[in-house]
Amino acid sequence: MKSVKKLTTLALFSTIALTIFLLESLIPPLVPIPGIKLGLANIVTLILLANATWRDALIVLLVRIILGSIFAGQMMSFFYSLSGGLACLLVMAILHHFLGSRLLWFTSIMGALAHNTGQIAVAAIVLGSGYVLFYYPYLIISGIITGLFTGLTAWYVHPRLPKI
């Protein structure tokens, strides 16, 4: 019975993350720099790291990336999302292991920067050019701002949810 409850819970978190991702794709860009998003679906990943396990966070992340790419009709973005998402989760899982939930905002900022690094790496490979690195300073600034916002949101929400 426990596995059914866990599966249902992860399905609900996947639905929430996917819904947030799709709704965010409808929001016009806040700054005139292509590719910069708030990363609101990352709040779900952070909550899962705090209230469940990194494996649970990985499952929900992969479901969100795969279905989000299909539903949004942006299969090329799949590779960017996958590389960024996995880099982000790796960094956040390691930091959460050592820091716990008390510095979730910092964990989120570092995850956002790792996400941007993963995406820049894929862009450099796809385009066959290092010129995309000139874009990196803008991504660092946006990563700090959006990472802080999503981290503070997750830090506020996660204690109000039960452990999984």
Q: How far is CA 15 from CA 44, 132, 140, in A?
A: 10, 33, 29
Averaged confidence pLDDT in the chain: 93
**Both tokens of residue 90?**
């790796």
Residue 49: the pLDDT is 96
Residue 1: the pLDDT is 52
**How far, in Å, CA of 83 to CA of 60, rounded?**
15
Residue 73: the pLDDT is 78
Domains of the chain: which residue ranges?
2-160
Whole-angstrom distance between the N-terminal and C-terminal Cα of the chain? 14
Residue 76: the pLDDT is 79
Full-model pTM: 0.93
Q: In CATH, which of 1.10.1760.20, 3.40.228.10, 1.10.240.10, 2.30.130.10 is domain 2-160?
A: 1.10.1760.20
Residues 157 and 149 sit within 8 Å (Cβ to Cβ): no
Residue closest to 120 by CA, chosen among 36, 24, 44, 61: 36
**How far, in Å, CA of 139 to CA of 70, rounded?**
25
Given a cut of 50, the residues of the chain with pLDDT beneath it are: none
